[in-house]
Every structure is written in structure tokens, then in C-alpha cells.
Amino acid sequence: MLELTREIQRLKQERNAVILAHNYQLEEVQKVADYVGDSFYLSKLAANSQHDVIVFCGVRFMAETAKIVSPTKIVLLPEKDAGCPLAEMITGQGLRILKSQHPGVPVVCYINSSAEVKAESDICCTSANAVKIVASLPDRKVIFVPDENLGDYVAKQVSDKELILWKGHCVTHAKVQPKDVNQVRELYPTAKILIHPECNPAVAALADFVGSTSEIIRYAQLSEESTFVIGTEMGVVCTLKETMPNKQFFLLHPGLVCPNMKKTRLESVYRALQDQQYEIHVESEYALRAQLTLQRMLEVV
């Protein structure tokens, strides 16, 4: 593994590449990355990158987003089959039909969506800034796609808006049920329970804190408490344990493992750099409109 890491570093310099890894990636991948973070943080880095090549260790919509905001860069997705079931729950055609039913209503799309869906939307958001994005719109009605759980969370924070939600969800976060939260309360009565807003609203209602991956990490860093139960993908627990060894972190549910995020291995990163695979291309008919949608988000936050 040490030799592979050295080769990755050599190729990175040779290709003038930067490696971006999502918080949900395997620890071995996070360790060779130049930057590790949530979708919002990584999308900002991609937009401002001075490198020729961006190796995006995540899932397809993330690499697509990097290509959209950095169209002149070579963007590589180390595992071509690393997709996102949530992003696949809505199509451009489906969104166009919904828009026709609510003419004139602006569309906020979660970053967990395809380039075509972004092109059909007015502004993008991440879980870290969704409330701020929706609140920034002057309209009372807003279409929010595709995650209905995140949309429900946003609607509760922005009570002056009426959100029209799409029936989509993260299959990993959806595994958590209220009984799981009640069980860990009994098991770790002094622990703070931190939950991602992609979880079911009934689950989020039982949390001590609800936030994106970056917000969960920040909460744990700033808290004087020492024990936490984490209600999001297990990759965040790995990050927390490594950065805060003096605190205890437990995963809320054993099913909080995203199989698509775990497809990328150290060997995948090496092959991506060595063979320049798998390069991401975004259809020109979507690229510019999707770029505007993402740019509007970056201007707000």
C-alpha cells in the first residue's frame, strides 16, 4: 500500500492533478486525497482549481458537478459505476412535467442530481446550505427536488415558504428508523445524537442536532461533550475518530454504509491517474444551464 501511495503521489505531480474525496470515502482513499469534505466544499474547490486534472473520489453526480464548474479541466471518476440511487430517482423529463404543473415556480435542486436535472433547475443546493438557498428566494412557493426528507427539513426551517417536494430519498439514510434512535438513547444516555437531514423526518425529530456532514463534524469539534452517536454514512465516523481521538463516536445504524461510495479503492485512484480513467463528459445541451444553476448557488453562499 505504501508503494501504491508513492506512485499516486508521483502521478499526481506528473499530471498536475488534484485528488478530491468525499467524507463518505474509504479511509485509505481519504488519506491520499488533497482535500476531503462534503459536496459543497468540494464543488467550491473544483470551481477554483488551478490543476489540469481533477480526480473526484465520490459518485458520478459529484464528478459531473466538478466538470460543469470546471469545463476546461479533465475530470476523472475512479470507479465508473459509482452512482447515486437518489440522483437516479428523478429525470429531466420528470422535472419538466412537475414544472408544467406549477408554472412560474422556481426549482431548487439538491446537488445529488444529474446534469440534466440541474439544467432544468433555477438554483442548486447542498445539505449544508439548502435552508439558506431556499430562504434567499423571493417566491413563496418553491419546487424542491429530489430528496423529500431534506425538503421536509428545509420546509420546517423556512416556514414562510410552501415547498413542493419530489418523492425521492437516500436509500442509505432511509434505513434508520425512530426505534434505532430510541435504542441508542438507552445504550448511550449521555451521548449527543447527530443526524443528517436525509434521514426520515421522524428520525430527525429525535436528534440533538441535525446537519450536513460538515456541520456534524463542526458540531463535534466545538462541543464540550465527549460521546456522540452519528446518524450518517460511516465514513464520517472514521473522520471523526481520526481527528478527535479524545472523544467517542458510535454509528447510529450498521446499515449506514453507502456501497457506491465504497467502490473507490486506492487501486482505483492509481488507475485513474495512470490510465486517465474514467473521464467525465457532460452533454453540451445541459452543461451551460447546469453551470448557471451551480453558479447561482455559489453566489448566494
Residue 219 known to bind ligand? no
Asked whether residue 157 is domain-assigned, the answer is yes
Question: Are 130 and 204 part of one and the same domain?
Answer: no
Euclidean distance between CA atoms 148 and 167, whole angstroms: 6
pLDDT at 294 over 90: yes
Which pLDDT band holds residue 1 (cuts at 50, 70, 90)?
Answer: confident
Residue 293 known to bind ligand? no
pLDDT at 286 over 90: yes
Asked whether residue 144 is domain-assigned, the answer is yes
Residue 233 known to bind ligand? no
User: At CB < 8 A and 24+ separation, what contacts does 174-179 make?
Assistant: 174/149, 174/198, 174/199, 174/200, 175/253, 175/255, 175/256, 176/200, 176/203, 176/231, 176/252, 176/253, 176/255, 176/256, 177/202, 177/203, 178/202, 178/203, 178/206
Question: Are 21 and 153 part of one and the same domain?
Answer: no
Question: Are 98 and 146 part of one and the same domain?
Answer: yes
Which pLDDT band holds residue 29 (cuts at 50, 70, 90)?
Answer: very high
Q: What is the DSSP letter of 70?
A: S
Q: What is the DSSP letter of 144?
A: E
Which pLDDT band holds residue 85 (cuts at 50, 70, 90)?
Answer: very high
Residue 238 known to bind ligand? no
Residue 100 known to bind ligand? no
Residue 112 known to bind ligand? yes
Q: What is the residue range of 39's domain? A: 2-83+261-281
Q: What percent of the chain is predicted at pLDDT more than 70?
A: 100
Count of residues making up the chain: 301
Question: Are 92 and 165 part of one and the same domain?
Answer: yes
Question: Are 35 and 184 part of one and the same domain?
Answer: no
Question: Are 145 and 289 part of one and the same domain?
Answer: yes
What integer pLDDT is reported at residue 202 of this predicted model?
98
Question: Are 200 and 221 part of one and the same domain?
Answer: yes
Residue 196 known to bind ligand? yes
What integer pLDDT is reported at residue 43 of this predicted model?
83
Residue 198 known to bind ligand? yes
Asked whether residue 269 is domain-assigned, the answer is yes
Overall average pLDDT of the 264-270 stretch: 98
Q: Within a 13 Å sphere around the CA of 243, how many CA atoms are in the beta-carbon half?
A: 16
From residue 25, how far is each of 46, 62, 63, 207, 260 by CA, in Å?
17, 13, 14, 24, 9
Euclidean distance between CA atoms 92 and 101, whole angstroms: 14
Which pLDDT band holds residue 152 (cuts at 50, 70, 90)?
Answer: very high
Count of structural domains within the chain:
3
Q: What percent of the chain is predicted at pLDDT more than 90?
A: 95
The per-residue pLDDT for range 86-117, each reduced to its tens digit, is 999 999 999 999 999 999 999 999 999 999 99
Residue 253 known to bind ligand? no
Question: Are 50 and 115 part of one and the same domain?
Answer: no
DSSP string, 184-204: HHHHSTTPEEEE-TTS-HHHH
Whole-number mean pLDDT of the chain? 96
CATH code, 68:
3.40.50.10800
Question: Are 74 and 93 part of one and the same domain?
Answer: no
Euclidean distance between CA atoms 34 and 45, whole angstroms: 11
Residue 84 known to bind ligand? yes
Q: Alpha-carbon dihedral of residues 154, 156, 158, 161, nearest 10 degrees?
A: 100
pLDDT at 129 over 90: yes
Euclidean distance between CA atoms 134 and 127, whole angstroms: 11
Asked whether residue 256 is domain-assigned, the answer is no
Asked whether residue 151 is domain-assigned, the answer is yes
pLDDT at 253 over 90: yes
Residue 197 known to bind ligand? yes
Which pLDDT band holds residue 131 (cuts at 50, 70, 90)?
Answer: very high
Overall average pLDDT of the 180-185 stretch: 97
Which pLDDT band holds residue 40 (cuts at 50, 70, 90)?
Answer: confident
pLDDT at 38 over 90: no
Euclidean distance between CA atoms 87 and 147, whole angstroms: 9
Residue 56, classified by CB atoms within 10 Å of its CB into exposed (0-12), middle (13-18) or buried (19+), is buried
Which pLDDT band holds residue 301 (cuts at 50, 70, 90)?
Answer: confident
N- to C-terminal Cα separation, the chain: 39
